[in-house]
Amino acid sequence: MTRHITPILSSAALTALLSLPALAESIPPLASLSPPPIPDDNPMTPEKVALGEKLFWDGRLSGNGAMPCSACHLPDLGWGTGGAISFGYPGTQHWRNSQTILNAAYYNKLFWEGNSTSLEAQAPAAAGGAVAGNGDGSMMEMRLRFVPDYVREFKAVFGTDWPNLAHAWDAIAAYQRTIVTDATKVPFDRYLAGDTDAMSDAAKRGMDIYNGKAGCISCHNGALASDQKFYNIGVPAAAEFEQEPLYQITLRWELYQKGVPEDVYRAGADDLGLYHVTKRPEDKGKFRTPSLRELRWTEPYMHNGALWSLADVVDFYDAGGGEGQTAGLQPLGLNDGEKADLVAFLEAMSMDEPLLAEAPELPETATWSEFLK
């Protein structure tokens, strides 16, 4: 047996060769967003977007007539609820943080556990879900058919005699594709476009830490600053869970709905994330990497809103993530200055001002005899 093998390259050179170019190639760098992709079967028109805007704000698309999409995706609150765990349909409690819909148009997997693949498919799940809109499909459709303005607008946009519920979701999806970051308003994007003064020196140092020492780029990469993959980074359970029976009821109900094995259902004490979709033990506690764009306007953070500030987020990662993480996070050893720089860079990926919107005026419901006139 040969006792000594002469390596062709020194181990340091080999590591450099294997890791550096390969990594640089496989991790897409941060970049500015292009306009979002538009599906072939739901083209955008200004009329469709205007209709979708009204429907997004219209409680007719919920069970009790009062839980429109905007109830939990308020522009003033970063297009979320502003709280840690979202409230639920009256009489229920939701179990997760309401995600911002800002830039949702760019994801190919929606929700924290990625269980919806398009905005068109996501909207009925939200409007019909028992802890969200809790609307019955045929009832919601009938409500739309009693609104003369909607009858006219659906006809103009979709060519049907009467509003069709599936078209309502298409219009809402088209509207959400307009709720996106404007790169000209983002310091980081202006910097990428060549304005070297657009970011502060702290943010520039933070960018190097993000791409280097802190390794954020390995998951929060590409134009969206998300690889759209799933990891368990050990976010602590929500404090509300222990005190709120309604919350515990929702968790059990979700476990049941999603068909987890009985032992998991009985033990069920925390949100298992991607596991609910795949039922693979290694997927417990994994959630979709969220975009890091617009963080200034969308606190609190994480699937259960456990972290309230970007400084808390950076401390969380500096400590190597939370208990039970399986994402391979390591303590980062950042000093206070480096932490502040990283926060400054995260802030520089948000628009200078939040994207706001006014509630549109909603059309009136008519009686049947008014229609027949």
Q: Which residues bind ligand HEC (CB under 6 A)?
A: 61, 67, 69, 71-73, 86, 88-89, 94, 96, 98-99, 101, 104, 107, 110-112, 119, 122-123, 126-127, 132-133, 172, 214-216, 218-220, 231, 233, 235, 287, 289-290, 292, 295, 298, 301-303, 313-314, 317, 327, 342, 346
Minimum Å distance from CB 2 to ligand HEC? 40
- Cα–Cα nearest to 175, from 240, 105, 256, 276: 105
List all residues 6 or more positions away from 325 whose beta carbon is below 8 Å from its beta carbon.
231, 232, 233, 234
What radius of gyration, in Å, describes the C-alpha atoms of the chain? 23
Which residue lies nearer to ligand HEC by CB, 126 or 183? 126
Measured distance CA(150)–CA(319) in Å, rounded: 53
Which residue lies nearer to ligand HEC by CB, 27 or 264? 27
List all residues 6 or more positions away from 170 whose beta carbon is below 8 Å from its beta carbon.
42, 48, 52, 120, 158
Which residue lies nearer to ligand HEC by CB, 32 or 325? 325
- Cα–Cα nearest to 360, from 53, 44, 46: 53
CB burial readout 96-110, b (16+ within 10 A) else e: bbbbbbbbbbbbebb
Whole-number Cα distances in Å, 205 to 76, 303, 304, 329: 31, 28, 30, 21
Q: How far out from the chain centre does Cα 10 lie?
A: 45
To which residue do tokens 């969220």 refer? Answer: 290
Which residue lies nearer to ligand HEC by CB, 64 or 371? 64
Minimum Å distance from CB 261 to ligand HEC? 21
Question: Integer distance in angstroms from the first to the last C-alpha of the chain?
Answer: 99
Six-digit token string for 210: 């993000």
Minimum Å distance from CB 223 to ligand HEC? 15
Measured from the Cβ of residue 166, the count of other Cβ atoms closer than 10 Å reads 12
Minimum Å distance from CB 22 to ligand HEC? 17
Six-digit token string for 107: 């994801």
Cβ proximity of 337 and 344 under 8 Å: no
Minimum Å distance from CB 300 to ligand HEC? 7
Minimum Å distance from CB 176 to ligand HEC? 6
Which residue lies nearer to ligand HEC by CB, 260 or 295? 295
Measured distance CA(246)–CA(228) in Å, rounded: 31
Minimum Å distance from CB 308 to ligand HEC? 11
Which residue lies nearer to ligand HEC by CB, 161 or 228? 228
Minimum Å distance from CB 225 to ligand HEC? 9
